[in-house]
Chain A
Amino acid sequence: MAGLKKKSHGGTWGVLAEFESPAAVYHAAEQVRDAGYSKWDVYAPIPIHGMDEAMGLKGSKMAWIVGTFAAMGASGGFLLQWWTSAVAYPIVVNDKPFGAWEQFTPVTFELGVLFAGISAVFGMLAINGLPRWNHPLFSSERFLSASDDGFFIGIESKDAKFNSDATSKLLEKAGGFNIEMVEDQ
């Protein structure tokens, strides 16, 4: 442990179980979903297709965020151009009308896209609770293979149905192995 400090504040973050394959974790997720847990997640190196159904998740809210910001960027961009060119500093260029919409279209579009793009990335990070420096799961040595070829399910102790024995059994019955309690930090 060269210089990697691990401080424990006691308490349990939850239970983590490993699964053999995408199919195994997929079917295990269906069982956890049916058991009625809510604070749990599947960890895999890839977004497994169809997992949202297996986990019983609703669709992502990203589209609303991005759409709102795109509309804000475009309308703000148009107003900025119209106000600077037609109100604050009207100068005659090319004999164009000061406030003609045509000439403002390119920048209006670009600003809409700019806002949408920024909100897509930072909105995604924000609703995922990122960035964060550390997470209890990172203290599990096995867990590091979630970024390679490991498939995991983690159920948090905050979940109302959480019971360390029963939850571990459920995961084991669903095909999990290397089941471990992850300490909170």
Chain B
Amino acid sequence: MAHAIADKSKLLSAANTALPVGAGRMASLALLALGGITIALTILGAVLGDDTAKKVALASFHVGFLVTLGLALGSMILVMILHQVNAGWSATIRRQLENVMSMIPVCLVFFLPVAILAPMIFHWMDPHYTDGDVVYAAKASFLNKPFFYVRAVIYFGAWLYFSQRLYRLSIGQDSDGDRWRSAKARKMSSYGLLIMALTTAFAAFDWMMSLDYHWFSTMFGVYFFAGFIGVATSLCALILIILRRAGVMEGLVTQEHLHDLGKLMFGFVVFWAYIGFSQYFLIWYGNIPEETMWFQVRRTDGWMPYSVALAFGRFVIPFVVLMARPARRNPMILATVAIWLLAFNALDLFWVVRPTVHTPDGHSIMFGWLDAVAILGPVCIFFGLLVRKIASNPVVPVNDPRMDEGIAHKNYV
């Protein structure tokens, strides 16, 4: 095995693990410019439009924020799981998840306008809706503005703490090679996952479920981790495929790693469908008005095509494609499915958030150009900054104690 160890130093040489200076700058600038333009258009559309247009712009901007947050949180949960289970195969892919995870501060910036303008779309903040509403009165001790903001501070506090600590442990290992940093990361991840489960679930209640504040579902939090981890895996696969084409990671991230990421994508497509179907199905079967109203909106009023598109796009089509082993081992197909899933995750969040915005006389408003620009704004800026982040560090955690296992990884069956 002597040659294997000789190979290793070559594989981990700077030429194979660091992007050339200035790589991705054009892509980053283009994305940031597009983000800037779309945000300007959003603001323009909102300022010039009527009250409804303002609400639409904010709700869709909120969707854009949630898309970026989902990618960051999903990546963070995945990093924690990989640390916690002592995974060896993932040593060479983990850095890309860490890069996405470290973008939480950007998400915080996107959250600020939503938080400030929240009463426009969160009806429970609006006395016009809540006056004399006994249902609201019963939950007012949870759904009130001060507590809403306190909770948001707690969530972001926890996320910033864990993401930055884990990120620094990994980056620090690149320079000092201290393998005990991995042990520390593992220890943090154990209780970290517990905190992540609670904060993500309650954030989903606060920022999505409470948009329709009469409605409730115990599964709602789980629905989002399922979706988030799935898109985080897709994004990771996409980044790796692009980096491989850029000529780094030769022999570090192979078809075998992509195959396993493809399996995880497949697994989370199925898991998301399982959670989504169970939630819908139990409510459909129980048929109690206070629960069915949420799905009622999404099955009528023009939202039905969106629901059908979601079921096929977020489950049936990727399920069929990823079921084939050759598809999971083919970078082009995998990248296509990854982009597809990222898009349909955005549709999922749009489908959850946007039907809560109505015209003053109670009609639904379908997807329009304002929605498109409002979602694209935060998403483009997020990706623009992510590209710079990826270029700024070695593309793999070069001193990870599990690197040998990561390089040797192979699927036999």
Contacts and interface: CB of A to CB of B under 8 A. Distances in A.
Contacts of B412: 49-50
A103 B285 contact: yes
A95 B287 contact: yes
Contact of A63 (B284, B287, B325): B325
A123 interface: no
Nearest to B274: A109
A67 interface: yes
A95 B285 CA distance: 10
Interface residues of B, number: 9
B142 interface: no
Contacts of A102: 280-281, 284-285
Contacts of A96: 285
A147 B137 CA distance: 72
Interface in A91-134: 94-96, 102-103, 105
A94 B287 contact: yes
Contacts of B281: 102, 105
B284 to A, nearest CB: 5
A35 to B, nearest CB: 25
A94 B285 CA distance: 8
Interface in A26-42: none
Interface in B83-132: none
B304 to A, nearest CB: 14
A50 to B, nearest CB: 7
A137 to B, nearest CB: 25
B287 A67 contact: no
B171 to A, nearest CB: 35
Contacts of B325: 63
B1 to A, nearest CB: 13
Contact of B277 (A63, A67, A105): A105
Nearest to A49: B412
Interface in B274-313: 277, 280-281, 284-285, 287
Interface string A147-161: 000000000000000
A49 to B, nearest CB: 5
B323 interface: yes
A68 B349 CA distance: 34
A89 B48 CA distance: 60
Contacts of A49: 412
Contacts of B323: 67
Contacts of A103: 285
A106 to B, nearest CB: 9
A49 B323 CA distance: 23
Contacts of A105: 277, 281
Interface in B242-296: 277, 280-281, 284-285, 287
A119 B323 CA distance: 17
Contacts of A95: 287
A171 B280 CA distance: 63
B139 to A, nearest CB: 29
A105 B277 CA distance: 10
Contacts of B285: 94, 96, 102-103
A95 B412 CA distance: 51
A153 to B, nearest CB: 20
A63 B277 CA distance: 26
A103 B323 CA distance: 25
A105 to B, nearest CB: 7
Interface in A52-103: 63, 67, 94-96, 102-103
A37 B365 CA distance: 69
A49 B412 CA distance: 6
A58 to B, nearest CB: 13
Contacts of A94: 285, 287
Nearest 3 pairs between A and B by C-beta?
Answer: A49-B412, A102-B284, A102-B281
Given A49-B412, A94-B287, A96-B285, 7 more contacts: A50-B412, A67-B323, A95-B287, A102-B280, A102-B284, A103-B285, A105-B277
